[in-house]
Amino acid sequence: VQLQASGGGLVQAGGSLRLSCAASGSIFSINVMRWYRQAPGKLREWVAAITATGSTNYADSVKGRFTISRDNAKNTMYLQMNSLKAEDTAVYYCNAFGETLTRDTFGPAWGQGTLVTVSS
């Protein structure tokens, strides 16, 4: 199973970006999908999570500004980021847990990361 994150870029503070994370491979189902981020010189931190049924959870630092969603038919997860701040600058990673077509569990499968830079 492979994950491909995309959608990062340079944006001014207060702006918006939408990240995507597409999973591919021998996938039967995906359970939980998560976004993480790692700012320069800092540890990777969890940002948001979404279950297969659409239940969501957010880190306090992004609550009210970021929205996580997914399209199960496309095995794709999104992160709508609004009211971006300079401190949101980081490489954003996605991961997923699920089952393969042979009903083996997989995860965490990680994407390669996409860079978000917020200028103040």
Tell me the mean pLDDT in the region 32-61: 97
Residues whose CB is less than 8 angstroms from the CB of residue 7 and which lie 6 or more positions away in sequence, other chains included: 17, 18, 19, 20, 114
Q: 45 is written with which tokens?
A: 């931190």
Mean pLDDT, the chain, as a whole number? 96
Instruction: Count CB atoms within 10 A of the CB of residue 37.
Output: 24
pLDDT of 85 reads 98
Strands 9-12 and 114-119, by their bridges, are parallel
- The answer, yes or no, to whether residue 111 has pLDDT greater than 90, is no
Q: What is the pLDDT of residues 11-28, one digit of tens each?
A: 999 999 999 999 999 999
Cα(40)–Cα(66) distance, integer angstroms: 21
Q: Could you tell me what percent of the chain has a pLDDT over 90?
A: 97
Give the model's confidence band at 114: pLDDT under 50 very low, under 70 low, under 90 confident, else very high.
very high
